[in-house]
Amino acid sequence: MPWSGNKPKIYTGSKGKYEELVKDYKEHFPSYSVLFQVAAAIGILLDQKKELRRRDELVNTYSIDKDGTLELLMKIKYPDLTPEERLEELEKYAEAGIEIIYKDVNLTGRFNLKKYVEDLNI
């Protein structure tokens, strides 16, 4: 289901990192939408947010969170904010998350999902 509210685009301050990761880790991140979702999830998981230093268009809003889990989680976290405000918050989580992934990948040379998923066996 589409994100409620009236904010058609998702923005980022780290477009270059997105481009690099999607290009180099196609197996894990087949698209910008997938990478944005993963980055937002890691930001939420580690409860880290980062203000966007610049706002480059990344993807259309309707292409992310098709099952509504992220929106639900943001509603629980921020029950008093408007949908647009919640999406902006999600962008901040994703901004922090992409930074973490980028560093991790540069450090280890691979995307280590195990670090973020509890029941990951390998």
Partner 1 sequence: MWLQKMVIKNLKPYRGRVEIVFGRRYLQGKHIYVIYGDNGFGKTSLLDAIYWGLFGKRARKTQLIFNDKEIERKGAEMFVELTFYDDFSNKTYTIFRKAVKAGSIIQEKLEVIIDGESITGDVLYKQDCIEEFLIPYEISKFFFFDAEYVKTLAREQGGEIVKDSVELLLGLKAIRESIEDLTSIKGEFERQRRKYFMEENNYREIAEKLENISKKLEMYRKRRERIQRELKKKREERIELRRELAESGIEEIKKILQRRDELESKLELLKEGREEIKRKLEELCTNIHLLILKSELITAEKYLENKLKKLQREKEKLRELSFRMLFLKRLLDELKCPICGKIPLELDIRLLSEELEKLEKNNPLISKELTSIDEEYSRYYGFYSQLKQKLENIKQFSTSDVYELRIKLREINEEINRVQKDILRKDELLKNIGFSLVSSIEGKISDLQREIGELEERDKNLFEKIEELEQRKKKLERELKRFLPKKSEILELEAKIDFIDAIKMAFKDYLDEMIEKRRNDIIKSSSEIFLKLTNKKDEYRGFEFSSQSNYKFQIVCKDGSKPNMDTISYGEMEVMALSFILGLNMYSQIKAPIITDTLFGRLSPYVQENIAKVFSEMDNQIILLVLKDDRPNGKTEIELIAPFFKQNICKEFIIKRDQIKRESKIYECKILAGD
> Is residue 22 at the binding interface for partner 1, with CB under 8 A as the rule?
no
Binder of partner 1 out of 10, 44, 58, 96 (CB under 8 A) = 44
- Using CB under 8 A as the binding rule, whether residue 29 contacts partner 1 is answered as yes
**Under DSSP, is residue 60 helix (H, G, I), strand (E, B) or coil?**
strand
Give the contact letters, 81-110, x = binds to partner 1 (CB under 8 A), - = no. Answer: ------------------------------
Q: Assess 28 for contact with partner 1 (CB under 8 A).
A: yes
Q: What 3-state class would DSSP assign to 82? A: coil
Contact 43, 95 (CB under 8 A): yes
List strand residue ranges (DSSP E) for the chain, in order: 9-12, 56-60
**Rounded to an integer, what distance in angstroms lies between the CA atom of residue 90 and that of residue 46?**
13
Tell me which residues touch partner 1 (CB under 8 A). 27-30, 33-34, 37-38, 40-42, 44-45, 66-70, 72-73, 75-77, 79, 113, 116-122
